[in-house]
């Protein structure tokens, strides 16, 4: 039972929905992180220093490289800068999760968090030095196009970014609400004003005698 305005009469905190969304965020992030780290371990163990492995001719090749830059080998030579940026992204996502009540945003933030932590783990723990480690990339699509080599964490970050842009474009908020182009109240007000103006114009067009008889 609820009081006016939708507030619960029992006084119980309205946070179970947020807790479920945060749990989903954590699960998605954990799945992304585990898949990323396991795949990197396997390719380093079995494919590094070996000839590239063609999975789908002309479409998918596995070749291990060490990336000192950002996703898709952008900005090599700025490893420590990207490490700090990745730490900032993780902190921002964790802080944002306090307002999380949206299922789509839980998935989006989970993808971003899992991908960011996956690459951040490489930067912190891999050679050549702590916090300056090179990220393991190994996925190459359509080699003839020379598209940059990437990893599963990069893929999760890109998917999360695309989802974030789509949700923001559609007006979906992190707190579970949706921001419309025109609030319902304004639409009702405009409709009422238009109806009133129409009635006034109609009466103005009637002869005086007819209005008096009415």
Q: What is the pLDDT of residues 98-155, one digit of tens each?
A: 899 999 999 999 999 999 999 999 989 998 888 888 999 999 999 999 888 999 999 9
> Residue 72: pLDDT above 70?
no
Output the pLDDT for position 198.
Answer: 54
Catalytic residue among 122, 154, 175, 213: 154
Q: What is the mean pLDDT of the chain?
A: 81
Inter-axis angle of helices 152-170 and 103-125, to 10 degrees? 150
Average pLDDT over residues 37-57: 96
Catalytic residue among 36, 137, 181, 213: 137
> Residue 11: pLDDT above 60?
no
Across 45-49, 54-58, 67-71, 106-110, least confident range: 67-71
The Cα angle at residue 148 between residues 57 and 40, in degrees rounded to 5: 80
Q: Which residue has the higher pLDDT, 91 or 76?
A: 91
For the chain, the three-class secondary structure string (H helix, E strand, C coil) is CECHHHCECCCCCCCHHHHHHHHHHHHHHHHHHHHHHHHHHHHHHHCCCCCCEEEECCCEEEEEEEECCCHHHCCCCCHHHHHHHHHHHHHHHHHHHHHCCCHHHHHHHHHHHHHHHHHHHHHHHCCCCCCCCCEEEEEEECHHHCCCCECHHHHHHHHHHHHHHHHHHHCECCCCCECCCCCHHHHHHHHHHHHHHHHHHHHHCCCHHHHHHC
Confidence band, pLDDT 50/70/90 cuts, at residue 32: very high
Output the pLDDT for position 18.
Answer: 86
Output the pLDDT for position 71.
Answer: 54
Average pLDDT over residues 182-187: 49
Q: What percent of the chain has pLDDT over 70?
A: 71
- Letter string b/e over residues 76-89, b meaning 16 or more CB atoms within 10 A of that residue's CB: eeebeebbeebbeb
Distance of CA 83 to the CA centre of its chain: 20
Per the annotation, the verdict on 122 as an active-site residue is: no
Q: Which residue has the higher pLDDT, 174 or 13?
A: 174
**pTM for the predicted model, two decimal places:** 0.75
Q: Measured between alpha carbons, how far is 150 from 139 in angstroms, rounded to an integer?
A: 5
Per the annotation, the verdict on 154 as an active-site residue is: yes
């Amino acid at each position: 039972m609820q009081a006016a305005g939708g507030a619960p009469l029992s006084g119980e905190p309205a946070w179970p929905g947020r807790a479920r969304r945060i749990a989903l965020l954590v699960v998605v992030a954990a799945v992304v992180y585990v898949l990323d780290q396991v795949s990197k371990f396997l390719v380093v163990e079995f494919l590094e220093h070996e000839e590239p492995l063609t999975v789908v001719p002309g479409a998918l090749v596995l070749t291990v490289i060490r990336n000192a830059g950002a996703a898709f080998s952008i900005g090599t030579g700025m490893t420590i800068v990207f490490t700090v940026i990745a730490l900032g992204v993780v902190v921002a996502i964790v802080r944002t999760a306090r307002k999380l009540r949206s299922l789509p945003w839980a998935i989006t933030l989970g993808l971003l968090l899992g991908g960011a932590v996956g690459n951040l783990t490489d930067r912190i723990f891999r050679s050549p030095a702590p916090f300056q480690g090179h990220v393991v990339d190994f996925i190459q699509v359509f080699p003839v196009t020379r598209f940059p080599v990437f990893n599963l964490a990069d893929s999760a970050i890109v998917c999360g970014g695309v989802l974030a842009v789509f949700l923001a474009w559609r007006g979906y908020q992190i707190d579970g609400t949706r921001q419309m182009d025109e609030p319902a109240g304004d639409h009702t007000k405009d409709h009422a004003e238009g109806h009133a103006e129409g009635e006034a114009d109609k009466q103005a067009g009637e002869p005086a005698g007819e209005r008096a008889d009415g």
